[in-house]
Structure formats: structure tokens, C-alpha cells
Amino acid sequence: MLDRFKVPEDIAVRVQADDMRATVENLFTALGMTEEAAKTSVDVLIYADIRGIDSHGVSNMTPAYVHWLKNKILNATPDVKIARDSGAAVTIDCDKGLGLAVGPGAMDLAIERAKQYGIGVAIAFNAFHYGAAAYYAQRALAHDMIGMSMTTGGVLVAPTQGAEPLLGLNPIGIAVPSKEEVPFLFDASMSSVAANKIRLLQRIGGKVLPGWVTKADGEPVMEEAEVPEDYKMLPLGGTRDIGSHKGYGLMLMVEVLTSILAGTGGGPDRRGDSTHYFMAYNVEAFTDTSLFKDDMDTYLKRLRESKPAPGESRVVYPGIPEHESELERIEQGIPYHPDIIDWFKNTCEELQVVHRLDI
């Protein structure tokens, strides 16, 4: 199923991560961001591209990030402040900053508080898009902590049995440390599929699968089809008969723990753009860290070595496919659609920015 989102290899333009990193950093600084903020932001995007999360990588520069910065919709140099501090829990006002730039610091603050209190939570409101939730969750791994991050996605999803877009895409990312096994690292939208993946399908001429989107009137599309011109996203599960009430409930939970808990409303009534949630669990506060990681290794190995279903070659857990993608893309380069490379070259020329994409 995931192959339908990939750029076909016969047209893919392979770019080394450092070349794309330098190009995007130059664009961000040309648009007013500080060098530090630009480097931080690009790290989030390149992480996604290397790990195969193509829907949340540098392709989001077009048109979103560049448009927001050029038109001062977001603040290139935000004055980020703590609005409320209760020790283990912190609320941060991001002053309309790009989530990519302010999110890593908020996650690191949650980690620092978890060192003190066992658990640390930071909610960052008045922000913009922050990329892949997994990036923030995985920052906790180096500290032998469980990391978790959630965010308010675009309000594009109709509730189960509904025909209006009232829910955000609302992804959840969770990272869990291990010793020898690849860490468990889950990252998924609570919608049927990430909205950016639908845009990827439109770019490469792919088709949606049953239960991903609705028709214009809200009726679920329940056959493989071209992307409808006017559609709404569906919750994870697609329809009530196959479990969309679960995705709906999780999506609503994320809305509560992000935007509503920050005091900025929910769904179509949100005040401001995005609110992000960062949480760290200090394993040592709950149990012996070495024992925990041993137990994780045992469980993850059991999953990995378990008997596959008929027609399947193996069983994987969240984190393995992304790890394998990272190994391949570091060696072979990141595959981009030619349209994305052309857009970067044209935008760099327009802004008189040096790029490293003459491939």
C-alpha cells in the first residue's frame, strides 16, 4: 500500500541529504529566519525525508512555508515565552512561530522537566505546522525516556457519520527506547491517511483506497478511485462498520489535549493556527531502565520473528520500515519528484538563494 505514495524510481531525482539541507537552510534565512532557527527547522524536514515520511519533508516548503514567510503570515523571529509553568506541566506561547523552529525546544523542555518530576509535558500554542510528530518523540530516546508528541492537524476530517469537516488530522507520535532492537517509533495521523499523502497521490496520479476520503456530499468513497476533486478526509477506520469511531475518538482526544487544553478552542473554533503537545516519561521514575529496555528488546524481537500471515514475507513493528529507509537513503540519496526539484530551483532563483540541486 505504501508504494503508491512513492515517487516512481524511473523519474525520481536522488539528492544527498546535505545538499538539500544546505538549500533549504539558505531559503529559510533568505526569508528572515535566524541561522539557528533555520538549522533547527531543516533538521525536522530532512529527518522526515530520510526516514521515508515524504509527506512531511521538504516538499512542505511548497507552497506552505515559503508562502507563510513571504507574506508574514507567521513570525520568522518569534518571541517564544512560557505562559504558564506548573513544574511538570508548561504552556508555551510561540508568538506565531513555525512549529519546526519552536517545537524541538519545547520537546527538550518536556525532557528536562521529566528528569525532575518523572513526567514532563509542554503544550505550545500560537504556532504553525511542526512536521512529523515522530521527530519530537524520538528526541527522548537519547535520555532513556519514552517520548510522545501530538499536534492539531488541518480541520479536514468529517466525524463518523458526518458530512462536515470538524476534526483535525491530529497525528500522534510515540518513541520507546530499547537496547539492541530498532526502537519502537509510531507516527500516524488519526485520519484514515495523512492529508499530505492525498496530495502526493494527486502529484503522481495515484488512487485512493476504500475508506480514505468522502465524495463532495460526505458519502465515503468505498472503492479504489481517482482522488475526488472535492473531498473530505475520513477518520482512521473509514466507516463505523470497520471502526472509524475509534479514529474519531482518538482524533477528538488529541484536540482536547492540544488546542482545548491550551485554552485556544477546538476544531473549526480554534483560535490561532496550531497547538503542539510534547511529553516525556522518565523510565527510571517507574522502573529499572535496564530491565525496561531488556523487556522491550524481548517483546520487539518476538514480534519481528513471529510467523507471517499467508502471502506475507515478514512481520515488522513501527520503526523498522523507517529505519530501513534511513539506511537506504543515506547511501543512495533521497528520492524527490522532479516537480519538487524544479520548484526549489525556481524559488531559489527568484529569491537569489544559492542551491545545491544541479544534479
Using one digit for the tens of pLDDT, what is the confidence trace for 42-52?
999 999 999 99
Compute the distance between CA of residue 226 and CA of residue 326 in angstroms, rounded to an integer.
30
Q: What is the mean pLDDT of the chain?
A: 95
In a domain, 359, yes or no: no
Per-residue pLDDT tens for 272-291? 999 999 999 999 999 999 99
* Interval 147-169 mean pLDDT: 96
% of residues, the chain, pLDDT over 70? 98
Q: Evaluate whether residue 38 is within a structural domain.
A: yes
Following DSSP, what letter does each residue of 75-108 receive, concatenated?
BSS---EEEEE-SSEEEEEEEEE-HHHHHHHHHH
DSSP 235: B
Is 356 a member of any domain?
Answer: no
Q: Exposed, middle or buried by CB within 10 Å (0-12, 13-18, 19+), for 168?
A: buried
Domain assignment of residue 358, yes or no = no
> Please, which residues have CB within 8 angstroms of residue 157's CB and are 6 or more apart in sequence?
165, 166, 167, 168, 169, 191, 232, 233, 234, 235, 251
Question: For residue 126, what is the domain's CATH number?
Answer: 3.30.1370.60
- Give bridge partners of residue 145 from the DSSP assignment: 282
Q: How confident is the model at residue 173 (pLDDT cuts 50, 70, 90)?
A: very high
pLDDT score of 94 more than 60? yes
**Domain total in the chain:** 1
Q: What pLDDT, on the 0 to 100 scale, is given for residue 313?
A: 97
How confident is residue 23, by pLDDT bands cut at 50, 70 and 90?
very high
Q: Is residue 180 part of a domain?
A: yes
Smallest Cα–Cα separation from 190: which of 267, 276, 260, 252? 252
Q: Predicted confidence band at 195 (pLDDT cuts at 50, 70, 90)?
A: confident
Q: 236-245: long-range contacts at Cβ-Cβ below 8 A with a sequence spacing of 24 or more?
A: 236/188, 236/189, 236/190, 236/191, 236/192, 237/160, 237/192, 237/211, 238/192, 238/210, 238/211, 238/212, 239/160, 239/211, 240/160, 240/161, 242/211, 244/160, 244/192, 244/211, 245/160
Whether 327 maps to a domain, the answer reads yes
What pLDDT, on a 0 to 100 scale, did the predictor assign at position 134?
98
pLDDT, position 190: 95
Domain assignment present for residue 59? The answer is yes
Q: Please give the DSSP secondary-structure letter assigned to residue 275.
A: E
pLDDT at 80 over 90: yes
Per-residue model confidence as pLDDT tens digits over 204-251:
788 999 999 999 999 999 999 999 989 999 999 999 999 999 999 999
Which H or E run includes 17? helix 17-30
CA atoms of 319 and 6, how far apart (whole Å)? 18
- The Cα diameter of the chain in Å comes to 56
Q: What is the pLDDT of residue 308?
A: 98
Whether residue 355 lies inside any domain: the answer is no
Q: Which three cell numbers stand for residue 23?
A: 538549500
Mean pLDDT of all residues in 189-209 = 86
Q: With pLDDT > 90 as the criterion, what percentage of the chain qualifies?
A: 91
Per-residue confidence band for 128, with pLDDT thresholds at 50, 70 and 90 = very high
pLDDT at 359 > cutoff 90: no
DSSP state of 183: P
What are the two backbone dihedrals, phi and then psi, of residue 140, each rounded to the nearest 5 degrees?
A: -80, -20
Could you list the residue range(s) of the whole structural domain that residue 330 is in?
2-350
The answer on pLDDT for 4 being more than 70 is no
Mean pLDDT across the stretch 155-162?
A: 96
pLDDT for residue 200 is more than 90: no
Give mean pLDDT, residues 92-96. 98
Mean of pLDDT values over 257-270: 97
Residue 194 is predicted with a pLDDT of 81
pLDDT for position 3:
65
Residue 52 zone, left/alpha/beta (φ > 0; ψ -120 to 50; rest)? left
Say which residue, 63 or 145, is predicted with more confidence: 145
Residue 123 to residue 106: CA distance in whole angstroms: 8
Burial of 296 from C-beta contacts in 10 A (0-12 / 13-18 / 19+): buried
